[in-house]
Chain A
């Protein structure tokens, strides 16, 4: 039905789109893995990061990739403060309350953006926005290839942080057994805030890689939230390798599913996988059995 010259580009498209999804999911999986919260505000945070990248480019001419060292730490700081000052304090540790707090946060962030930036959709122009690279019969946009590399890099950095640093050890301890970790002298609140901060920092990176081929408006984050959740579940909550592989896999499923079933119905592939994974392998591809 579809020749190689359609399937192959579709596959590559899926991989590159999936890489961006993976970047978004990396942060979400860390936040879930450590704090055990489903962060409803993840989409809104992505939107904030996208606006930051946009403003840097439009007001100061900073190229999105060069904005990485500004946006990533900035988002980290935002995440740390939000978790420490708002989420932690408001939720009293109860799951259902954390949910509502992140939900409230997402409403606040989205509408603050609406007030400040109005609802216009904004895009940026860069020298490489339309540049493509030919791989076989496929023309792949350069920003998407960069995003792919970026996702691999981020996943690698995160895995290194968690595996090799003291912070990483503390994170792993808290994720596994919060009370035990506290008894051992680990400042759990600080670790929580650091984790949330790193989670949002990933969104900062995602935004830098995404904006060249996408756009930003106050509602832009909501389109990515469900996909991100699916990937976190598929990959295994708390696993970076899982988020990366899961993201790429979902990207490919979305792409090929769209080809076969039509773009609209093809989205079902994503959720079908979601449900099947939850039913038959809830720990995901890389997660540890609880």
Chain B
């Protein structure tokens, strides 16, 4: 008697669960998201930082899941781009086949070129988290969305602000020397700077290109001494930046300003902590967060609790994943075409980056901008633009 009743009760419960999958204990189908970064090879550090940011974002999203899909969670499919484009493209195929609804990655511009293209063949939405080369969003790929700024924007902002700072200080600086790394990001950035600066009255006395890796910067610092430019503009990766600054410190070369554009270490807490003297006063035009938004401080604490530094890779990729979640929410589906359409019309503003409301045109977020920071009292503070300013800039460092 009781067996039969229990059986009917159980079958009824089961039947209702099947009929109403979003009600009751059944879990909604997870949305697979590919997280692709170079976590081995030459770019391993940055790739690992990006991945950490992505995983924290997924953690936050999964606290309540995608509401429009009944609380569906993001299921992460990790990929290693192995610091080269072929491996990145191969991982995209894997993610495509694993049924990923979208991909976030791949940090480095040259890898992003390959991954966005491979993803385009499957109409797989690809959010670019860092990759600053402008070519990434200029190929007409409908699936590619870059949330952050490209190097053209960064160079323009940097030059404009340098002009402003210089003018406000009474134009103490007239000559510039650019030191850049030899590959895509450094050469591209330096080229843009060298073209724009003369228009604002600056004389570019010298542009020095160096290898990755460079073992010794004494020669470059010697040239710096000889050229004696008022401002030194470095555009390179972390290791070389550290060596360059240390060598400058050793040789007692102190220009009127060290003004980085996408400087590898200039707005890096790791650099400031390990080399406080060399870092003091350096200005950077780089990816940064809105310092007035408390959520950034909270994320920073979480990051540092994992014993890693809070770097631009972390908060850029974190926000890129949140952008994606917002799009999935608005698309109300895990269908790729729907997500692409949702990204195209995204107005995502629930973030702590200084981009305002999102608006994509041809895959580039129009509001994306770098911020100008300066290392002041062993901390990194925003100096420009004024809506995000934390301290007044110190320019020049010496007269």
Binding site for B on A (CB under 8 A): 2, 6, 9-10, 13, 17, 111, 114, 118-121, 123, 125, 129-130, 132, 139, 141, 213-215, 217-220, 223-224, 227, 255, 258-259, 262-264, 267
Residues of A near B250 (CB, < 8 A) are 130, 132, 139, 141
Instruction: Report yes or no: B238 in contact with A121, Cβ–Cβ below 8 A.
Output: yes
Given contact pairs A6-B223, A118-B48, A218-B44, enumerate 15 new A-B contacts (beta carbons under 8 Å): A2-B226, A9-B222, A10-B219, A13-B218, A114-B44, A119-B47, A123-B275, A214-B243, A223-B215, A227-B215, A259-B222, A262-B209, A263-B219, A264-B209, A267-B211
With A111-B40, A215-B242, A263-B211 known as contacts, the answer to whether A13 contacts B45 (CB < 8 A) is no
From residue 40 to 59 of chain B, which have CB atoms closer than 8 A to chain A? 40-42, 44-45, 47-48
Residue-wise interface mask of B (242-286) relative to A, using a CB-CB cutoff of 8 A (1 in contact, 0 not): 110010011110000000000000000010001100000000000
B239 interfacial by beta-carbon distance below 8 Å: yes
Tell me the bound Cα distance from A114 to B218 in angstroms.
29
Residues of B near A13 (CB, < 8 A) are 216, 218-219, 222
Contact of A217 among B182, B239, B249, B274 (CB under 8 A): B239
Contact of B222 among A10, A17, A267 (CB under 8 A): A10
Tell me the bound Cα distance from A230 to B182 in angstroms.
22
Residues of B near A125 (CB, < 8 A) are 274
B14 interfacial by beta-carbon distance below 8 Å: no
Residues of A near B389 (CB, < 8 A) are none
B210 interfacial by beta-carbon distance below 8 Å: yes
Binding site for A on B (CB under 8 A): 40-42, 44-45, 47-48, 182, 208-211, 213-216, 218-220, 222-223, 225-226, 238-239, 242-243, 246, 249-252, 270, 274-275
**Can you list 10 A-B contacts (CB < 8 A)?**
A6-B225, A9-B222, A114-B40, A121-B242, A123-B242, A130-B246, A132-B250, A132-B251, A259-B219, A263-B210
Contact of B215 among A123, A214, A264 (CB under 8 A): A214
With A123-B274, A214-B243, A264-B211 known as contacts, the answer to whether A6 contacts B226 (CB < 8 A) is yes
Tell me the bound Cα distance from A130 to B277 in angstroms.
11
Tell me the bound Cα distance from A164 to B238 in angstroms.
47
Tell me the bound Cα distance from A262 to B182 in angstroms.
11
Instruction: Report yes or no: A215 in contact with B48, Cβ–Cβ below 8 A.
Output: no
Closest 3 CB pairs of A and B: A119-B44, A119-B45, A13-B218
Instruction: Give, as a whole number of angstroms, the nearest-CB distance from A253 to chain B.
Output: 12
Instruction: Give, as a whole number of angstroms, the nearest-CB distance from A211 to chain B.
Output: 13
Tell me the bound Cα distance from A215 to B252 in angstroms.
20
Tell me the bound Cα distance from A114 to B211 in angstroms.
23
Residues of B near A114 (CB, < 8 A) are 40, 44
Nearest opposing residue in chain B for A111, CB measure: B40
Tell me the bound Cα distance from A141 to B270 in angstroms.
24
Residues of B near A262 (CB, < 8 A) are 208-209
Tell me the bound Cα distance from A136 to B225 in angstroms.
15
Tell me the bound Cα distance from A2 to B239 in angstroms.
29
With A217-B239, A263-B210 known as contacts, the answer to whether A119 contacts B222 (CB < 8 A) is no
Instruction: Give, as a whole number of angstroms, the nearest-CB distance from B337 to chain A.
Output: 37
Instruction: Report yes or no: A263 in contact with B45, Cβ–Cβ below 8 A.
Output: no
Tell me the bound Cα distance from A9 to B275 in angstroms.
25
Nearest opposing residue in chain A for B47, CB measure: A119
Instruction: Report yes or no: B215 in contact with A263, Cβ–Cβ below 8 A.
Output: no
Instruction: Give, as a whole number of angstroms, the nearest-CB distance from B278 to chain A.
Output: 9
| Residue from A13, A258, A259 whose CB has the most chain B CB atoms within 10 Å | A258
Tell me the bound Cα distance from A196 to B47 in angstroms.
35
Nearest opposing residue in chain A for B182, CB measure: A264
Instruction: Report yes or no: B218 in contact with A263, Cβ–Cβ below 8 A.
Output: no
Residues of B near A223 (CB, < 8 A) are 213, 215
Instruction: Give, as a whole number of angstroms, the nearest-CB distance from A162 to chain B.
Output: 28
Residues of A near B40 (CB, < 8 A) are 111, 114
With A132-B251, A264-B182 known as contacts, the answer to whether A17 contacts B242 (CB < 8 A) is no
Instruction: Give, as a whole number of angstroms, the nearest-CB distance from B214 to chain A.
Output: 7
Contact of B239 among A121, A132, A259 (CB under 8 A): A121
Instruction: Report yes or no: B222 in contact with A6, Cβ–Cβ below 8 A.
Output: yes
| Residue from B44, B218, B252 whose CB has the most chain A CB atoms within 10 Å | B218
Instruction: Report yes or no: A255 in contact with B219, Cβ–Cβ below 8 A.
Output: yes
